[in-house]
Chain A
Amino acid sequence: MESTLRGHVHKFGKNVDTDVIIPGKYCNIIDPAELGKHALEGIDPEYTARMKAGDIIVADTNFGCGSSREVAPIAIKGSGTSAVIAKSFARIFYRNALNIGLPIFESSEAVDGIESGDEIELEPATGVIRNVTRGTSYQAAQFPPFMQSLIDAGGLVPYVEKRLAEASR
């Protein structure tokens, strides 16, 4: 399990969709670092210039709505962003983020209690969110048990490998 994540917050509103996370014209790129240069370009063209490695995105409801493009969470991860906290995530983005190893946290209270520029700490193992700037802390929603077991196993790829190994026995 990953260790503590620490960074400054960049806050966004509701319905940050995949078209603004990684505009369609970049969807023929597969290199994560190259994708990372354009993360959030459709909503905040200065994001990648402003942010520092480890920084954290905080957003309102329905983060990642729209397309199934897996390059959306890949671009966010590729930019050096360490995690996304939102009040809720769109369904496909949620799966994709877990599958590619972008840490995501769901907590309405945390989103309401964190502002742009705050420094925060995240514990991926426990879902604890600490606002270092304001001295507050929050507990993100637990992953459903099946998803937690997938995460603990290292993600979907090791899960598939295990299934294939069992089948070939």
Chain B
Amino acid sequence: MTLTQKILARHAGLDRVEPGQIINANVDLVLANELSAAVAIGVMRGMKGADRVFDANKIALVEDHFVPAKDAQSAKLAKLMKDFATEQKIKHFFDVGRGGIEHVVLPEEGLVAPGEVIVGGDSHTCTYGAFGAFATGMGSTDIAAAFVLGEVWLKVPATIKIVYSGTLKNHVYAKDLMLRTVGELGIDGATYRAIEYHGSTVDALSITGRITMANMAIEAGAKNGIFHADEKTIAYVQERTDRPFMVERADSDAIYERVIAIDVDDLEPQIACPHTPDNVHPISQVTREDIPLDQVFIGSCTNGYIEDLRVVAKILQGKRISPNVRVIVNPGSQKVWMQAAEEGILTILAAAGCAVNTPGCGACFGGHMGTLGDGERALSTTNRNYVGRMGSPKSEVYLSSPATCAASALTGIITDPRVVDAALV
């Protein structure tokens, strides 16, 4: 069995499960944000006999989409979730200023561990595959069912194995690797499938790098994207929780639907051009023409981690961003924000001319705190660039790594970070 099959079989109480099989799986954690929770709570209120959640310690509720509340309607949804958390005695409730973006917060708080099954009312719940967990996004009615039953029905996915080899060059990152992967698979290339990441390249990645890659599995349509837990994973998790967990491994005779090999030795920084995340090109092809930018955004559940901010600060230190562009930085969580403050990163960014915002999802999905207007163009470290994703349907979004965003912030046009770095030396 593949890693995904192994985890699902155990959570369904079965010896074996096969792709296509429908199972009921016990869940270790159910996640929602104020948008998905508001709808889920409404559904749960309408369910006969559903007075209590299945386990108040196995639900995480994070205020992150329209925070700090954009308007009275957003505040209403936030309050609805907070009141529900109080009523149900939900232990893991994160208000503004104590949490941040759900997918950044949950690992930080030790709420994600290898071998677990996690479902969330957000498509980027697949992020936790970075830790060797089965994690997938669902809509609010499914989340309401999981709130009360503590289990979900799932169709066991077939698995696509991707084997990465080679060493990433300077200023080529996990984000570039994943953009390349989404470009190769296509935005529906892994629909109903699991992606299992393998190879020496990803073994060498940090936890943050693996988070970036698992996060964007949904951009290929995948149900989940998963890494095997290793010493790095176990050390990260054990620093944050003493909860027991079981590390699963794919069997040596596991059957994969497809195996894809990607060699990264010659990989350049990658750019996803408008208007789909699989419209991916090496940066040398994109920078043949100068592409002027109105906004650079650095943050999100894909790239809002301290490691990302360190890369950005290193490029922007002692510099001023281009007068033609505004740069918005959202540290992914309160903890990332505090760490960045302690390391002097926030000061470096502010001195360079960046606006540093409260942790949250708003800018990424065109909610608030950095919405694009008609005719504007952004380069962003986020995960989606569909029409209107970050605001006006007449705006354009390009996706890249934090390093490419930082280099482009200095020039005001899409710029290869290797060029900027060479100029610094």
A residues with a Cβ closer than 8 A to B are: 15, 17, 19-20, 23-25, 27-30, 41-43, 45, 61-62, 65-71, 74, 88, 90-92, 95-96, 99-100, 144, 146, 155-157, 159-161, 163-165, 168
User: Using Cβ atoms and an 8 Å threshold, which residues of chain A touch B367?
Assistant: 24-25, 27-28
Interface contact A66-B384, CB-CB below 8 Å: yes
Interface contact A71-B39, CB-CB below 8 Å: yes
Contact with A along B95-123 (1 / 0, CB 8 A): 00000000000000000000000001111
Interface contact A67-B123, CB-CB below 8 Å: yes
B residues with a Cβ closer than 8 A to A are: 22, 35-36, 38-39, 42-43, 46-50, 65-66, 70-71, 73-74, 77, 120-123, 125, 137-142, 144-145, 148-149, 153, 155, 187-188, 191-192, 218, 221, 223, 276, 365-368, 371, 384, 386-389, 391, 393
Closest A residue to B46 by beta carbon equals A157
User: Using Cβ atoms and an 8 Å threshold, which residues of chain A touch B389?
Assistant: 19, 24
Interface contact B74-A17, CB-CB below 8 Å: no
User: Using Cβ atoms and an 8 Å threshold, which residues of chain A touch B141?
Assistant: 70, 96, 99-100, 155-157
Interface contact B47-A164, CB-CB below 8 Å: yes
For the complex, give the distance between the alpha carbons of A41 and B187 in Å.
Answer: 22
Interface contact A68-B121, CB-CB below 8 Å: yes
Query: Which of A62, A66, A100, A144 neighbours the largest number of chain B CB atoms within 10 Å of its CB?
Result: A66
User: Using Cβ atoms and an 8 Å threshold, which residues of chain A touch B48?
Assistant: 161, 164-165
For the complex, give the distance between the alpha carbons of A62 and B188 in Å.
Answer: 6
Known A-B contacts A69-B35, A70-B36, A91-B221; the reply to A19 vs B366 at CB < 8 A is yes
Known A-B contacts A19-B366, A96-B141, A146-B22; the reply to A27 vs B65 at CB < 8 A is yes
User: Using Cβ atoms and an 8 Å threshold, which residues of chain B touch A91?
Assistant: 191-192, 221, 223
Q: How far is the CB of B249 from chain A (nearest CB, A)?
A: 26
For the complex, give the distance between the alpha carbons of A164 and B51 in Å.
Answer: 10
26 contacts between A and B (CB under 8 A): A15-B276, A17-B384, A19-B387, A19-B388, A23-B393, A24-B365, A25-B368, A25-B391, A28-B73, A28-B77, A62-B187, A65-B188, A67-B122, A68-B36, A68-B120, A68-B125, A90-B191, A90-B221, A91-B192, A91-B221, A95-B138, A156-B145, A159-B145, A160-B149, A161-B49, A165-B48
Q: How far is the CB of A26 from chain B (nearest CB, A)?
A: 10
Which of B139, B149, B191, B386 has a CB less than 8 Å from the CB of A66? B386
Interface contact B139-A68, CB-CB below 8 Å: yes
Closest A residue to B77 by beta carbon equals A28
For the complex, give the distance between the alpha carbons of A82 and B144 in Å.
Answer: 25
Interface contact B50-A88, CB-CB below 8 Å: no
Which of B36, B50, B74 has a CB less than 8 Å from the CB of A164? B50
Q: How far is the CB of B101 from chain A (nearest CB, A)?
A: 14
User: Using Cβ atoms and an 8 Å threshold, which residues of chain B touch A161?
Assistant: 47-50
Interface contact B187-A15, CB-CB below 8 Å: yes
User: Using Cβ atoms and an 8 Å threshold, which residues of chain A touch B192?
Assistant: 91
Interface contact A61-B35, CB-CB below 8 Å: no
For the complex, give the distance between the alpha carbons of A100 and B187 in Å.
Answer: 25
For the complex, give the distance between the alpha carbons of A11 and B398 in Å.
Answer: 28
User: Using Cβ atoms and an 8 Å threshold, which residues of chain B touch A23?
Assistant: 366, 388, 393
Closest B residue to A67 by beta carbon equals B123
Known A-B contacts A65-B188, A66-B384, A68-B36; the reply to A165 vs B73 at CB < 8 A is no
User: Using Cβ atoms and an 8 Å threshold, which residues of chain B touch A100?
Assistant: 139, 141
Which of A17, A43, A62, A70 has a CB less than 8 Å from the CB of B140? A70
Which of B38, B46, B188, B218 has a CB less than 8 Å from the CB of A30? B38
For the complex, give the distance between the alpha carbons of A96 and B391 in Å.
Answer: 24
User: Using Cβ atoms and an 8 Å threshold, which residues of chain A touch B74?
Assistant: 28
Which of B70, B188, B365 has a CB less than 8 Å from the CB of A88? B188
Known A-B contacts A19-B389, A70-B140, A164-B49; the reply to A24 vs B366 at CB < 8 A is yes
Q: How far is the CB of B162 from chain A (nearest CB, A)?
A: 19
Interface contact A20-B387, CB-CB below 8 Å: yes
